[in-house]
Amino acid sequence: MKYRTYAKELIGYIENEVKGKKQEIQKAVITLLAKGHLLIEDVPGVGKTTLAKALSGATDCTFNRIQFTPDTLPSDVVGVSIYNMQTGKFEFCKGAIMSQIVLADEINRTSPKTQASLLEAMEERQVTVDGVTYSLKEPFMVIATQNPIDYLGTYHLPEAQLDRFLMKLSMGYPSEAAEIEMVLSRMNHTMKEQANHIAVINSEIVCKMQQEVEQVEIHEDLVRYIIHLITATRGHQSLVLGASPRATLALVRAAQAKAYIENRDYVIPDDIIQMVEPVLSHRLVLTNEARMNKQTISKVLAEIVGRTKVPIF
């Protein structure tokens, strides 16, 4: 694991930008190293965009931000072919998705049609415009932010879209100490601007780290343990929609990346248990009866984890 030592530096860089959010930063890095996409849901102003920019700056990846609004079009995202009268040919104008790290800001404020324009890019890492397919440069990651669904002007993300996000997390408000540190650090603009220009790694190293994550060993018994957890969601009385096979693969990759950033070449049960909620919570749908009884996805997952036998080595 030649490049594993960079993971700690990567997390440290982002912690300098986003104060007091170590757990959330670790999950964002795990998502990147697992070749996944990240969904961040929270109220405005808690650092969702700052986290995305810091991750891009630390890895020296190309970065684009799409500010989603009700009138954002699919062509704004994937691009469009425009006729050039001088050459007599159609020329492809790149959309905002043609970047390595893409911030889909307030994704649930745009129409379902525009949201759907991200599906091919997120799953197959390519876009198709007018019958022509364009590959996206690796590493490729979508970091989407959304306001809570009960806010005005928001649309529900469809299940097919949610299932393509490897992980969902919430930033939450910072602690008092972290907020004081944030204010004081913002007062020294010079030091902050200098720090923003120094990347920890480059995109080639990110790709190498992603390859190393795939080599992290996961025992067959742990794979069965993951399958048991996933299967339990599909037959649970409080859930109308359980986790998909894509979720199974996502949980495996997340556990491997979790072990990787903790300097291990192998997955342990705790890696899986810690990744269950951020990887599965957004993929499950409660029944109406469960909602009326004030059941939550977190409680359901905690129950499933508690009653599923953990392999002993």
> pLDDT (tens digit, 9 = 90+) per residue, 231-242?
999 989 999 999
Tell which residue, 1, 5, 25, 27, has the closest CA to residue 14: 25
Average pLDDT value for residue range 240-254: 96
Q: In whole angstroms, what is the distance from residue 182 CA to residue 138 CA?
A: 32
Cα–Cα distance for residue pair 266/144, rounded to 1 Å: 30
How far is residue 39's CA from residue 265's CA, in Å, rounded to a whole number? 27
Contact 118, 64 (CB under 8 A): no
51 pLDDT higher than 50:
yes
Q: What is the pLDDT of residue 42?
A: 83
pLDDT category, 108, cuts 50, 70, 90?
confident
Radius of gyration in angstroms for the set of CA atoms belonging to the chain, rounded to a whole number: 20
Of the pLDDT bands very low, low, confident and very high (cuts 50, 70, 90), residue 191 is very low
CA distances from 88 to 48, 75, 133 (A): 44, 21, 21
Instruction: Assess whether pLDDT exceeds 60 at residue 189.
Output: no
Backbone angles phi, psi at 69, to 5 degrees: -135, 170
| Nearest CA-CA partner of 74 in 43, 127, 25, 114 | 114
pTM reported for the whole predicted model: 0.90
When the candidates are 1.10.8.80, 3.30.70.3270, 3.60.150.10, 1.10.3720.10, the CATH number that belongs to 216-307 is 1.10.8.80
For residue 194, what pLDDT is reported?
A: 43
Mean pLDDT score of the chain, rounded to an integer?
90
- Greater confidence (191 vs 50) lies with 50
Question: 300 or 114: whose pLDDT is higher?
Answer: 300
The two three-digit tokens of residue 79, written as one number: 């691009």
One-letter-per-residue 3-state SS of 174-189: CCHHHHHHHHHHHHCH
Instruction: Check residue 248 and give its pLDDT.
Output: 97
By CB atoms closer than 10 A (0-12, 13-18, 19+), residue 91 is exposed
pLDDT in tens, 122-154: 999 999 998 889 999 999 999 999 877 655 567
Write down the domain spans for the chain: 6-196, 216-307
Residue scoring higher pLDDT (200 or 35): 35
φ, ψ of residue 56 to 5 degrees: the values are -65, -45
Multiple choice CATH, 6-196, 3.40.50.300, 3.40.640.10, 3.30.56.10, 2.30.140.10: 3.40.50.300
